Amino acid sequence: MGKKQAGTGPLSRRPDNSAFKQQRLPAWSPSLTAQTVLPTFYILSLVCLFLGIWLLITVENTYELKVDYTNAGTCERCFEMRKHAIHTRTTCTCSVNFYVPKTFSGDVFFYYGLRNFHQNLRRYMDSRDDTQMVGRKNNLKAPSSYCAPFDYDANGVPIAPCGAVANSMFNDSFTVRYYPTKGPEVQVPLYRKGIAWYTDKNVKFRNPPTNNTFTLQQAFEGTIRPLYWQRPVYELDDTDHNNNGFINDDLIVWMREAAFPNFKKLYGVLNRAQGPFTQGLPAGNYSVSIFYNFPVEPFRGQKELVISMVTWFGGQNYFLPIAYLVTSGLILVAAIVLTVVYVKVGKKGKNMEE
């Protein structure tokens, strides 16, 4: 009734004859007929089979090696030592030997892995200040309250970077050595830069503005390093000044919190410029020596060194190929059952004709 009365003719109140108003819009109305459902199932089964096989072959040729060094080799000592907080400042070095059975060809990536470390706890994840790490001057010295209790130290000096995430940064470092069958041992050269996402390195994490006269250290003046850190944030990398501060690659990698308690994070990429490593990582004996700093005993965690190849499909992960193969099989079984039912019970559609 609220509508305007268009005209006053005898049919002025007659509704419009539009397809929309009369609910006669042209439409595609698919329905579940045997002619569509059964072929779909068979085809999907084939597609999944094909994908599964292809992925399986790919993954079979992707090698991965995990070296658990939590208390292996000579690290037993360091493990014990890190149990107690008093020894935090004493350094501990240890090494673990391992054997690479097959040559890792192409690019080889070195990861550190942690088990049972919950980076995904809500309060832990919230305990960071992205505004501070984007290098805003105001926020640098006024960390967000989310960082508490890692926002200010006991003297009220702001912590940079603040929060539980940064505070708990993984601080073991590795030196990997290769023992060729002939000749002397060779240190495996690693790139320690370029291991973070481009967007993280260039957008998400920025240092406070500096220039020729105003150094990074000056920029961070008035802040203090996180409680558990040995070095301040502007001195994280001795070798490369540009890798210091919030844009330090290791820090960025750590700050990208893992979704699950068992995770691995990129440590370095094999430098294939020279020596025996031009084709990748040759098979043979290796050892890794570790600056063992990160305590895992309290939370019953484990630490490992992971060496891996990647393909177009990423690292070694058997889940997807197997899942596709299983799915393919299930769909095939379903398709057969459906066909049988269609023929026997549904009587090829006769059941539908009353």
Partner 1 sequence: MSFFGLDCTRKKETEVERKIRANDREYNLSFKYATNSIKTSKYNPFTFLPLNLFEQFQRIANAYFLFLLILQVIPAISSLSWFTTVVPLVLVLSVTAAKDATDDINRHRSDRKVNNRKVNVLINGKLISEKWMNVQVGDIIKLENNQFVTADLLLLSSSEPLNLIYIETAELDGETNLKVKQALTVTGDMGDNLEALAAFNGEVCCEPPNNRLDRFTGTLTFGTQKYSLDNERVLLRGCTLRNTDWCFGLVLFAGPETKLMQNCGKSTFKRTSIDRLMNVLVLFIFGLLALMCIILAVGNGIWENHAGSKFNAFLPREENIAFSAFLTFWSYIIILNTVVPISLYVSMEVIRLGNSYYINWDRNMYHARTGTPAEARTTTLNEELGQIKYIFSDKTGTLTQNIMTFNKCSINGKSYGDVIDHYSGQRLEITEEITPVDFSFNRLADPKFLFYDHSLVEAVKLELPEVHAFFRLLALCHTVMAEEKKEGDLVYQAQSPDEGALVTAARNFGFVFRSRSPETVTIEEMGIQRSYELLAILDFNNVRKRMSVIVRNPEGKLSLYCKGADTIIYERLHPSCSKLMEVTTEHLNEFAGEGLRTLVLAYKDLDEEYFSEWKQRHHESSVALEDREENLDKLYEEIEKDMMLIGATAIEDKLQDGVAQTIEQLAKAEIKIWVLTGDKQETAENIGYSCNLLREEMNDVFIVASNSPEEVRQELRDARLKMCPDTEQDKFLIPEIILGNTPKVVQDESVNGEYGLVINGHSLAYALESNVELEFLRTACMCKTVICCRVTPLQKAQVVELVKKYKKAVTLAIGDGANDVSMIKAAHIGVGISGQEGMQAVLSSDFSFAQFRFLQRLLLVHGRWSYLRMCKFLRYFFYKNFTFTFVHFWYAFFCGFSAQTVYDEGFITLYNLVYTALPVLGMSLFDQDVNAGWSLEFPQLYVPGQLSQYFSKRAFMMCALHSCYSSLVLFFVPYAAVYDTVRDDGRDGADYQSFALITQTCLTVTVCVQLGLDLSYWTVVNHLFVWGSLGMFFILTFAMYTDGLYRLRPSSFAFVGTAQNCLSQSNVWLTVALTALLCVLPVFAYRFLYTQISPTINDKVRYKVCKMKEPAPRPRRARLTRRSTRRSGYAFSHAQGYGDLVTSRRFLRRPAPARSTGFTPTGRSPGFKPTGRSAGYSPVGREQNPKQKVEPTSLQMFRAVKDSSF
| Of residues 309-348, those binding partner 1 (CB under 8 A) | 310-317, 319-320, 323-324, 327, 331, 334, 337-338, 341-342, 345-346
CB of 112 to partner 1, least distance (A): 12
Per-residue contact string for residues 103-132; x = within reach of partner 1 by CB under 8 A: ----x-x-x----x-xxxxxxxx-x-xxx-
Choose the binding region for partner 1 from 14-22, 212-220, 234-242, 271-279 (rule: CB under 8 A). Answer: 14-22
* By the rule CB under 8 A, 2 interacts with partner 1: yes
Look-up of token digits 């105003």: 214
CB of 196 to partner 1, least distance (A): 7
Nearer to partner 1, 70 or 119 (CB): 119
Please pick, from the candidates 50, 99, 214, 299, the single residue that binds partner 1 as defined by CB under 8 A: 299
Choose the binding region for partner 1 from 8-16, 176-184, 215-223, 282-290 (rule: CB under 8 A). Answer: 8-16
Nearer to partner 1, 80 or 185 (CB): 80
* By the rule CB under 8 A, 17 interacts with partner 1: yes
DSSP codes, 292-320: -----TTTT-EEEEEEEE-BTTBS---HH
Binders of partner 1 in range 220-239 (CB under 8 A): none
Long-range residue pairs from 124-131, CB within 8 A, at least 24 positions apart, any chain: 124/164, 124/165, 124/257, 125/165, 125/257, 127/163, 127/164, 127/165, 128/161, 128/162, 128/163, 128/164, 128/165, 128/166, 128/255, 129/161, 129/162, 129/163, 130/204
CB of 131 to partner 1, least distance (A): 5
CB atoms within 10 A of CB 334: 13
What does the alpha-carbon distance between residue 25 and residue 251 come to, in Å, rounded to a whole number?
A: 58
CB of 139 to partner 1, least distance (A): 9
Nearer to partner 1, 44 or 283 (CB): 44
Could you say which DSSP state residue 15 is in?
Answer: P
Going by C-alpha positions, the residue among 101, 110, 104 that lies closest to residue 288 is: 110
The answer to whether 290 touches 96, Cβ cutoff 8 Å, is yes
Orientation angle between helical segments 34-60 and 319-344, nearest 10 degrees: 160
Nearer to partner 1, 230 or 317 (CB): 317
What does the alpha-carbon distance between residue 7 and residue 332 come to, in Å, rounded to a whole number?
A: 64
CB of 185 to partner 1, least distance (A): 25
* By the rule CB under 8 A, 164 interacts with partner 1: yes
- By CB under 8 A, how many residues form the interface with partner 1? 107
Going by C-alpha positions, the residue among 176, 194, 199 that lies closest to residue 96 is: 176
What does the alpha-carbon distance between residue 316 and residue 211 come to, in Å, rounded to a whole number?
A: 44
Indicate the helix (H) or strand (E) that contains 199.
helix 198-199
Binders of partner 1 in range 50-109 (CB under 8 A): 51, 55, 85, 107, 109
Nearer to partner 1, 68 or 257 (CB): 257
Binders of partner 1 in range 237-256 (CB under 8 A): 253, 256
Structure tokens given for 315: 């690292």
CB of 224 to partner 1, least distance (A): 18
